[in-house]
Structure 1
Amino acid sequence: MVSEVKCLNCGKRFRLKGESPSSNFFSVPCPECGGTLEPVSRDLREKEDGVEGIEEPTLLIDKSLALVFWDITEEKTQLLKDLTKAGYEVRLLKKPSLLTQWLRFETPSLIVLAAEDKEKIRPYIDILNSLPMPERRQIFVVWITSKARTLDPRLAFLASVEIVVNTSDISRFSDILARGQKIWRDFYYPFKQVEEALAKEI
């Protein structure tokens, strides 16, 4: 299903993959100007379609989505630039409810949770762990904290994330992410093959 939202500030329209928001306002900000998005009613959509001067709506997200929650003192600018350079559409998370809303429309490929304590990231992890397992496996989750040894598999398992990264290694994040994702792909590839084989038999 594809629905639409419109920015109340700049007027740009966007298409969403997923159900139409149930509320009057969509709390994910406009990627063009940061304004408030609201759902476009069917009547308005039919009225505006084909009107000269009104652009066709574009997808709100047309790349792999990366969501970032940042609650540490270290600078995040270079990490965000590196993710964008790697081909991700990067959006910041300021509260767990935003993650819930994004999941209704787009399954993120990557989630970065930067916080010292596990309790800070727990609300996000709880939301992710409530997803169906096939969907959860599509999401690569990274926890950045000074309390972890980078790529410590035991802590990653206990925290329900794919990898952990020490804050001192943020400058090497891209390389660490690539290494972690390769390990992850190699590990889950046999599971994916089995799932696909079973799906064909059903």
Structure 2
Amino acid sequence: MEVVCDNCQGKLRIADDKVPAGKTAFVKCPRCQSRVSVSGAVPAPEPEPEEAPASLDDLFDFTEEDGEAYDAAEKPFDFIEEEGKTAMVCEADALIREKLRPTLDLLEYHITEVPNSREALKKMRYHTYDLILLNEYFDTRDPDANAILIYLERQPMETRRNIFVTLLTTRYRTMDHMTAFQKSVNMILNLRNIDDIDKILQRGMADYGLFYKVFKESVEL
């Protein structure tokens, strides 16, 4: 480092390692013999280690108390009726929910409507729904960081293959199979086609049933 004498303006060169970091030492100026203070460089703070990405449980602050509040007699935490089919609707727009409801009733689904992602994830911890209708912007500003989609992507395959996930969107065309594959969902439904939800949903689920028919038959053997 270079130090300037305050008295005669003489310049001194001192090796950085001669003065401890964060400390002050005093030397004599070789020209005027004045006392010159020299401060050691303060080391840059070490970057804090990055925290591991939060799990979905951490993100939504699930606790054991949530589990203790579970009542098996309460629908729709689980639907105990034999052969009962369950559907969860993750859609904030009440008008769209009203258009979905008649079709789900016709297909004899017991319907669960959730207000936010936290409630949806809480319910999915205790029940595997047969059908999930999810708006990609549900409870998020970033459709590519939808917490429910992330949760479903992390499910074991033996669980995930029993859930038919329909992504409600305005960005992609209905029945876009490539996008459905990229989003890890079973079907894409553009909201402009919401009035034809009954035909589209039944067709998609029929194709899904045929796709897994041979697999499920072989598993049952």
TM-score normalised by length of structure 1: 0.64
Once structures 1 and 2 are overlaid, which stretch shifts more, 152-161 or 58-67? 58-67
Over the aligned positions, Cα root-mean-square deviation in angstroms equals 2.8
1:148 CA drift (Å) = 1.4
1:105 CA drift (Å) = 2.2
Does residue 150 of structure 1 match 2:171? no
1:78 CA drift (Å) = 2.3
Gaps in structure 2 of 5+ consecutive residues: 1-61
1:76 match: secondary structure = helix
Residue type of the alignment partner of 2:126: F
Pairing of 1:34-53 with structure 2 (within 5 A): 38-39=69-70
1:97 CA drift (Å) = 2.6
Could you say if the C-alpha distance between residues 150 and 39 of structure 1 is closer, same or farther in structure 2, counting changes exceeding 3 Å?
closer
Could you say if the C-alpha distance between residues 78 and 182 of structure 1 is closer, same or farther in structure 2, counting changes exceeding 3 Å?
same
Gaps in structure 1 of 5+ consecutive residues: 1-20, 27-36, 41-56, 198-202
Count of residue correspondences: 151
TM-score normalised by length of structure 2: 0.59
The residue number in structure 2 matching 1:114 is 135
Residue type of the alignment partner of 1:89: H
The residue number in structure 2 matching 1:166 is 190
The residue number in structure 2 matching 1:133 is 157
Higher helix share: 1
The share of aligned pairs that are identical, in percent, is: 25
1:167 CA drift (Å) = 0.9
Q: Write the distance in 1 (CA, Å) between the matches of 2:197 and 2:186.
A: 14
**Which of 201, 204, 216 is the aligned partner of 1:180?**
204
1:164 CA drift (Å) = 0.3
The residue number in structure 1 matching 2:104 is 83
Do the aligned residues in 1 keep the contact of 2:89 with 2:114 (CA within 8 Å)?
Answer: yes
Structure with higher Rg: it is: 2
1:151 match: secondary structure = coil
Listed one character per residue, the Cα deviations across residues 142-166 of structure 1 (whole Å, up to 9, x for unaligned) are 0111211111101111111100011
